[in-house]
Amino acid sequence: MVRRLVALFAVVAAALGGWANAPTSALPAGTVADSVVVRKADRRLDLYRDGERLKTYVVSLGRNPTGDKVREGDARTPEGRYVLDYRNPQSGYHRALHISYPSADDRAEAERLGVSPGGDLMLHGLRNGFGGVGRAHRAVDWTLGCVALTNAEIEELWRVVPDGTPITILP
């Protein structure tokens, strides 16, 4: 009985591993997005060009995803309008596009509350060394406030989203 359970577990694990890392259709070469919209409630990131949606990705958010980010350490993903202002190829996660949080309004609210707004929020892939997790990372919200995608997906965003692209994060 134990051997059958172990064999069944191995088959299920192999199937999930294949699903978690199966390729998806890539955007054509030369594609350039001009805006990004994250819909937190739907765990969705949409890429746009001239108002036309190019592609949708399923994402993971901060561990405490409901509500706007208020302070450092609250594990929330911020809500508002920001810019993807620079990229970090040496991140502890597979590629990272920096979100320009905190805005002046975010800093003012944090000051009013007497807290630090936090910062260093990114669109990024999986923690280095954990790329094999693939799509399975979506089972839970696990970041400290960032927006996480698979490594293949962040590679695609890295290619089609130039620095300075606006990003809107909706509740």
Exposed / middle / buried, residue 132 (Cβ in 10 Å: 0-12, 13-18, 19+): exposed
pLDDT in tens, 124-154: 999 989 999 999 999 999 999 999 999 999 9
Query: Which one, of 40, 53, 47, lies nearest residue 156 by Cα?
Result: 47
pLDDT in tens, 26-81: 899 999 999 999 999 999 999 999 999 999 999 999 999 999 999 999 999 999 99
- 3-class state of residue 40 by DSSP: helix
- 3-class state of residue 96 by DSSP: strand
Question: What is the per-residue pLDDT for 152?
Answer: 96
Question: What is the per-residue pLDDT for 132?
Answer: 93
Question: What is the per-residue pLDDT for 7?
Answer: 44
Question: What is the per-residue pLDDT for 21?
Answer: 60
Matching residue, tokens 């696990």 = 142
Question: What is the per-residue pLDDT for 5?
Answer: 44
In the chain the domains, ranked by start, together with CATH numbers, are: 32-170 (2.40.440.10)
Partners of 99 in the beta sheet? 84
Question: What is the per-residue pLDDT for 4?
Answer: 60
Question: What is the per-residue pLDDT for 6?
Answer: 43
Question: What is the per-residue pLDDT for 2?
Answer: 53
Question: What is the per-residue pLDDT for 1?
Answer: 63
- 3-class state of residue 80 by DSSP: strand
Q: Helices then strands (H, E): number in the chain? A: 3, 8
Instruction: Give yes or no for a contact between 120 and 134, defined as CB atoms under 8 angstroms apart.
Output: no
pLDDT in tens, 149-168: 999 999 999 999 999 999 99
Query: Which one, of 111, 143, 112, lies nearest residue 126 by Cα?
Result: 143
Instruction: Give yes or no for a contact between 35 and 12, defined as CB atoms under 8 angstroms apart.
Output: no
Question: What is the per-residue pLDDT for 86?
Answer: 97
Q: Nearest 5°: CA angle at 64, between 119 and 118?
A: 15
